[in-house]
Amino acid sequence: MSILVDENTRLLVQGITGRNGMLHARLSKDYGTRVVAGVTPGKGGTKVDGVPVFNTVEEARRKTECNVSVIFVPAPFAADAIMEAAASCVELVACITEGIPLLDIARVVKSLEGGSTRLIGPNCPGVISPGKARVGIMPAHIHRPGNIGIISRSGTLTYETVDQLTREGLGQSTCVGIGGDPITGSSFMDMLRLFESDKETEAVILIGEIGGTAEEEAANYIRQGYPKPVFGFVAGLTAPEGKRMGHAGAIISEGRGTAEEKIKALDEAGVHVVHNIGEVGTVVRKTLGKT
């Protein structure tokens, strides 16, 4: 099994006629993902690599039954693109776009409450269920099907972790990049719940970084009796206070959001904390008793 996306995913690419949208639509299609539609206002009636382009999400949804959207729309228009997909009841939206104003994304997240659409991101690499579907920008060739779930705030560290697991002979059920902005549509806890219900996910890796309280909240949830092994890594041990490091959300403010605090919380919750990113694959393999 997997979470969020699988062989039944019917993918819509919002912004498909742009450079990144066109490239990753093609890569996802080549991977075997069912890319059924694209949306670019004013480009309706055209095609990109055989994929029909529509002017609106509503039209694309009605004519192709797309159930997942990936957004490559520029930041000033990305919030409206998310809400357009939600208004058409698209089940899952992965927003790759970075630089969306916080007020915009706060408005989006509020509007999605109680609705049927789940948002991944923004400013994220998306989701991949190896061998089934690729939604976003993750490098498909390093993944292999298996039973390790990954949840990460960092795209680059996701790729590093996946590469290690694959080299250790450990495949992945689903890899989810939740994004590194201060406000995101889905949290570590949200994804932990989904992996908890996925019978074929044996263990979960949580990759965090400085800033915010998402890792501490996840630790509190795990402490209540999470039934599967959880491994954790937190980037940013040497980050100076008050200086943003990479992601918009990666900032230590008034002594809060430090890597030390997060590591302590995860460790006290029973998470197998790895202190060197280069050792994640080996630690997971040895802890799970894989040969």
- Proportion of the chain in helix, strand, coil states, percent, rounded to 5: 35, 25, 40
Given 24, 141, 143, 247, which residue is catalytic? 247
Helices (H), 88-187: 102-112, 155-167
Mark whether 247 is an active-site residue. yes
CA separation (Å) from 259 to 9, 31, 263, 265, 286? Answer: 36, 36, 6, 10, 25
- Strand (E) or helix (H) holding 129: strand 126-129
Task: Using alpha carbons, list the distances in angstroms from residue 121 to 27, 53, 108, 272.
Answer: 20, 24, 11, 26
User: Six-digit token pair at 129?
Assistant: 């269920």
Known catalytic residues are: 247
